[in-house]
Structure 1
Amino acid sequence: MTYICCSMENQVIKHTNSLKKLQMEPLLPYLEMIDTEIKATPFPNKSLYEPMEYILGLGGKRIRPIFTLLGAELAGIPAKDAVNQAVAVELFHNFSLMHDDIMDRSDIRRGSPTVHKKWDEPTAILSGDAMMVMAYQCLIKNSFDATTNLIKVFSKMAIEVCEGQMDDMSFENQTPSKDQYIEMIRQKTAVLIGASLQIGFLVGKDDSEAADRLYRAGVNWGLAFQIKDDYLDLYGDEKIGKKIGGDILANKKTLLYIVTREKASAEDLKTLDYWYNTNTIKQTQVSESEKINAVRGLFDKYNAAEESLTLAKLYFKKGNNLFNELVLPREPRKTILKLAEMLVERDF
């Protein structure tokens, strides 16, 4: 458990400070509960499992499993009764990151080398596959009468995440519309946040109508989260653990790109296409920073950041409206709304 025990302690300190900065101290017990359960997970002493320990030990914000624990409290049961399902959500999330990093050719994850860089691609693929199987094992542990519903929700979410990633990869060869982009991030990112909340609730209560509304609220919050994440990739701080401008260097067609392309003049379109040519850096003497600054200049010219943040806030409000239609316990309700607000107000 070397990776988890050593690096997770530093990550917990980092996240504790971040939560305090955002006045989210009520989430600390949930974060500690999740991290304690992850550290207690028995990983065999085999090379297949080292990358799992490594990526889990890098920390992460734990937003999804926290939603699962809060969902359980909304259903009237203690958060600890859904901790296995919360870990399942986090295992699945990290499995998807392992594979995404290979496809996106990413070198850095949470400020450290990605799994396929620290080991190799076959190891990252196999370790990720095993991690997904372990996620299902955790999902059904102590789930009792909820097992069938949990498997249905989890499997539907997993398929959609794969569909979203496939669409994301296909955008390398085409320019998506704004609607196509939103559908892609709905599947790739938002459905996992929605399902996390839904799963926790279903552990404690067999109420499919309420669970579905929670899911839809979570999906809207997830859309807001991803749009803000794309914004932070360029306008954030490298201290968040991601390389600033990484999406531009990878020629990712985010909402910033799509908004700019819709508004740009013919001349600026040519400039944008030039910089998004895969071989621009290879064929010229320009540096990565030159490419990032040139594209950011175009984004700024057409107010792409402002429009993106406005849309993020719109989805945040849609999620709140769906959530507020439900009659739910006051304390977890208040905490969930605060967590959802953090998704669009955060700077990390």
Structure 2
Amino acid sequence: MGDTVCNGTHSRKLLLSDPEAFDAKFEELVTELTERNLQDSGLADALNRLREILNYNVPGGKKNRGLSVIGSLRELLPPSQLTQDTLQQALMVGWCIEMLQAFFLMADDIMDASVTRRGQPCWYKRDGIGLDAINDSFLVESSIYRLLRKQCRDQPYYVHLLELFNETTFQTELGQALDLMTAPPDQIDLNRFTMERYKTIVKYKTAFYSFYLPVASAMYMAGINSDEEHNNAKHILLEMGEFFQIQDDFLDCYGDPAVTGKIGTDIQDNKCSWLVVKALEVMTPEQKSVLEACYGRKDESSVAKVKELYNALQMPTLYHTYEEESYQRLQKLIAQHAQNLPHSVFLNFAKKIYKRNK
């Protein structure tokens, strides 16, 4: 009887769905990062600011990346090994990925001079923040490694996770550098927009941290350390990540803002998007002249002309053909590379992204 009373909180935790448990975990982690083990009371103001930064920037997205850690771990481990501690650690690692995403986005918004993010003003656009947001983004990044050290230091997978997060951060930053160099604002040069360049940017800037990182984290937590298994997973997940970004580019132009929650600006922003790269592959020299005159311009008539051009080139049809081919390719990759890994790890991801409209 006494045990039942003591374990009341544990029982409640077990009754929560993964998304509910994930949301509940965030508050606990913020408290851990901002209140525990304070050796210097003089830091109170800075730690209060950290709390505000984390609450504003980290939890507002769809949380697919973070939730994929616990989702993947459920597929990789038998239920008997999914102890409460293991599940709590998976929730924590999931939030570390969401923090990595927040760190990238806070910096990205400054570089892109963005105005809104997730339906609210970008952090640097808030009164009194400005370029101090650069240091704030560093604080979010550092918080990842404080959490990993506090909660995973004694685990056999600790060093694997450290190396994985470090390497993934470096790859994403290389992808961002390539993206910035390929489409500098006010320098319209469509000759830089090749499919090869586009795919490299996507692989490094998006696919590694959005797709490989969550699954690789769960694999290490499940004791799957072999390079061969990780390379096999990488093959499949990077293909998925590429499709995800191409889909995102398509929705930027053709999605319904009421559904997607954002108004697309890739044309105005001179983005090296799949649509412009694909259009360049199939258009006539005359059409290219129109594109060069209108792409990367802010005025509505230029944007409208680019969209007319896309429609004339039947970009929605080309995209839907690509989507079907990508899905078939993915099925083959899963059959080929996931011999020792449960296919459900990859199929669960695929279900979320193929045919999505936001």
- 1:177-256, aligned counterparts within 5 Å? 177-192=194-209, 193-208=211-226, 209-240=228-259, 242-256=261-275
Structure 2 residue matching 1:297: 3-state secondary structure: helix
Instruction: State the superposition RMSD in angstroms.
Output: 2.3
Unaligned runs of 5+ residues in structure 1 are 1-27, 282-286
Matches within 5 A, 1:301-312: 301-312=312-323
Instruction: Point out which structure has higher relative CO (alpha carbons under 8 A, 6+ apart).
Output: 1
- The one-letter code matched in structure 2 to 1:177 is T
SS of residue paired to 2:354: helix
Q: Does 1:326 align with 2:339?
A: yes
Listed one character per residue, the Cα deviations across residues 37-69 of structure 1 (whole Å, up to 9, x for unaligned) are 123222645334423211224x21111112211
Q: Assess if the C-alpha contact under 8 Å between 2:237 and 2:346 holds in 1.
A: no
Amino acid at match of 2:19: L
CA distance in structure 1 between the partners assigned to 2:318 and 2:181 by the alignment: 24
Q: How does 1:14-163 map to 2 (within 5 A)?
A: 29-40=17-28, 41-42=30-31, 44=34, 46-57=48-59, 59-76=60-77, 77-78=81-82, 79-119=87-127, 120-140=129-149, 141-142=151-152, 144-163=155-174
Counterpart of 2:10?
none
1:271 aligns with 2:293: no
**Cα distance between partner residues in 1 of 2:276 and 2:22:** 36
Q: TM-score, normalised by structure 1?
A: 0.81
CA contact (8 A) 1:109 1:241 kept: no
- Quote the residue 1:23 is aligned against: none
Contact 2:72/2:345 (<8 A) preserved: no
Match runs of 1:272-311 below 5 Å: 272-277=291-296, 280-281=297-298, 287-288=299-300, 290-311=301-322
Q: Secondary structure of 1:250's partner?
A: coil
Q: CA deviation at 1:255?
A: 0.8
Distance 1:63 1:149 in 2: 22
Show structure 1 runs of 4+ deviating over 3 A: 240-243, 308-324, 333-336
TM-score, structure 2 as length reference: 0.79
- Residues 56 and 239 (structure 1 numbering): CA distance in 2 closer, same or farther, change over 3 Å? farther
CA-to-aligned-CA distance 1:107-158 (integer Å, 9 cap, x gap): 1212221112224442321111111111222334226110111122221111
The separation in 2 between residues aligned to 1:170 and 1:313, in whole angstroms, is: 31
State the one-letter code of the partner of 1:90. E
CA offsets, 1:288-345, max 9 Å, x none? 3x3332211111111233333433444444444333433445xxx5365133222121
**Would the aligned equivalents of 2:67 and 2:91 in 1 still touch at CA under 8 Å?**
no
Distance of 1:224 and 1:238 partners within structure 2: 20
Aligned to 1:170: 181
Note if contact 1:231-1:256 (Cα within 8 Å) is conserved in structure 2. yes
Output the CA distance in 1 between the equivalents of 2:246 and 2:163. 28
**Compared with structure 1, are the counterparts of its residues 156 and 317 closer, same or farther at alpha carbon in structure 2 (3 Å cutoff)?**
farther
Matched with 2:38 is none
Equivalence for 1:347: 357
Cα contact 2:75–2:345 (8 A) shared by 1: no
Q: Distance in 1 between matches of 2:331 and 2:339?
A: 10
> How many residues of Structure 1 are paired with residues of Structure 2 in the alignment?
309
Cα distance in 2, alignment partners of residues 130 and 316 from structure 1: 39
AA at the equivalent of 1:55: N
Distance 1:214 1:308, change over 3 A: same
Q: Distance in 2 between matches of 1:318 and 1:158?
A: 28
Please give the secondary structure, in 2, of the residue aligned with 1:46: helix
Larger radius of gyration: 2
Work out the percentage of aligned pairs sharing the same amino acid: 24
